[in-house]
Amino acid sequence: MTKAELVAALAAATSLPHQDIHACIDALMREIKTDILAGKTVELRGFGTFEVKRRKGRQRARNPKTGDIVSVEDHGAAIFRPGRDLKRSAWGSKK
């Protein structure tokens, strides 16, 4: 589902204007991004948790495209951990 499809689905479900829903979704994403980059954890109960995890660097990593040996510095990686309710709902899902 794209952001445009999400906006359309929410507009149909709530009868709010597309522009208002689009602005709310943009504000939500901006707030989550700002908070996790500031080192905070964003928890949406029943859905999941967004955070930045620190990854250790390595002296001998391999570039998968060229096969060359490169070194990788310590870095952050944005992660999402699904919440218990989402995990339980997805467990029985048949795609």
pLDDT tens by residue, 2-41: 999 999 999 999 989 999 999 999 999 999 999 999 999 9
Same domain for 46 and 11, yes or no, is no
Cα 31 to chain centroid distance, Å, stands at 12
Same domain for 48 and 94, yes or no, is yes
Number of domains in the chain: 2
Query: Domain of 27?
Result: 1-40
Least confident residue range of 5-9, 70-74, 89-93: 89-93
Q: Please check the confidence at residue 94 and state whether its pLDDT lies above 70.
A: yes
Terminal C-alpha separation, the chain: 14
Prediction pTM value: 0.76
Same domain for 46 and 30, yes or no, is no
Asked if 40 and 52 touch (Cβ cutoff 8 Å), the reply is no
Asked if 78 and 88 touch (Cβ cutoff 8 Å), the reply is no
In the prediction, which pLDDT does 17 show?
95
Same domain for 50 and 12, yes or no, is no
Angle of the 3-14 helix axis to the 18-37 helix axis, nearest 10? 130
Same domain for 46 and 92, yes or no, is yes
Same domain for 89 and 46, yes or no, is yes
Phi, psi (deg, nearest 5) at residue 55:
-110, 135
Q: Please check the confidence at residue 45 and state whether its pLDDT lies above 70.
A: yes
